[in-house]
Structures are given as C-alpha cells and as structure tokens.
Amino acid sequence: MSKLFPSVLFILMLIGCSKYDEVKEKLSFAFPNYIKCNVVRVISGDTFDCQFQDVEIERVKLIGVRIPSSFEVRATDFSKSYLRRGLPVKLEFDEDTYNGINIFAYVYLPGEEMLNAVLIEKGLAEYNAKPPNVKYEKHLLSLQERAKEQGKGIWGEVK
C-alpha cells in the first residue's frame, strides 16, 4: 500500500478536489471496496479462513447471515462444497469491516455469485441485520421471504 501513496498523492493534486466524497469517488479505481483472497479452510457455515496476497491469513465472517444451530452442520457442509481450498474469492466490504477477530464481508464466488445470498436463498441461514452493515438488506430479506414461502431449509421446519 505504501507504494501507492506517491501515485495517489499525485492523482489528488491532478484532480484538484478538496471534498472528501468527490475524491473518494474519483479514486475508487485505486481503492475498490473489495479485495481478493484464496480460501484456506472453512470454519463454519458462515466463517472461513482466507489468504491474502501479502500471505496473511485472516478469518472472514459473512455479513448478514445467521445460521441456526440445528442447521450448522448442513450449512458448513454446503459452504465447504463451495469454498474449496485455494479457491479465489472476492470480499466486498460494508461500513464495519473488522472487529479484531473477523473480517466482515459479502463473499463473491467465481462467477460473481454472493455466498451470503446463496445460503439465505437455500434456507440454510436467515438474514441477520447488524447495522451499519446493511448494504444489501432489501435483497437478502427478499431472498429470505422467498425461501420462507417455498419452505426451504430452516423454513420447512417452521410451521
């Protein structure tokens, strides 16, 4: 990241903007709100370890996903079927990104399918809003409603 600083400073001078939002928007190409990493291992249905380019391994927790204990084994097996060791994934961040233990992210599989959404859509998890991380709240809630209507997964057990 330190190699980028002179370039970013130069770009800032070229842009000539003083407003933070304008600068942020114009520099979004240099600092995207996502990062790529490779899966190391799945811990649970909504948590896995990922290796970044700087060889650091960090624990990643899916944003907006809560897996009931009765579905933990099924959700973990499902996540393991998608998150194979070495698989490159893309992490998209929201407002709150780290709590000292986990990185919070929306996880995109190759092909741009969001794992957070897949788990909810299949009824293996429920949406769990934790403000300020609510970027996709409407989308995830609509997937949950559809899973409920179709009686998928955890919603098939609820009568």
The CATH number of the domain where 120 resides is what? Answer: 2.40.50.90
**Does 142 map to a domain?**
yes
Give me the pLDDT at residue 55, please.
Answer: 82
Give me the pLDDT at residue 22, please.
Answer: 52
Q: Please give the single-letter amino acid code of residue 111.
A: G
What is the average pLDDT across 6-25? Answer: 46
Residue-averaged pLDDT of the chain: 85
**Does 135 map to a domain?**
yes
26-65: pLDDT as tens digits: 444 555 678 999 999 999 999 999 999 878 999 999 999 9
Give me the pLDDT at residue 151, please.
Answer: 97
Total domain count, the chain:
1
Q: Please give the single-letter amino acid code of residue 128.
A: N
**Does 106 map to a domain?**
yes
Give me the pLDDT at residue 129, please.
Answer: 92
Give me the pLDDT at residue 27, please.
Answer: 45
The domain in which residue 78 lies consists of 33-157
- pTM, whole model, 2 decimals? 0.78
Kindly give, in sequence order, each residue whose CB lies less than 8 Å from that of residue 134, ignoring residues fewer than 6 positions away.
64, 94
Does position 6 have pLDDT exceeding 60, yes or no?
no
**Does 13 map to a domain?**
no
Give me the pLDDT at residue 113, please.
Answer: 96
**Does 11 map to a domain?**
no
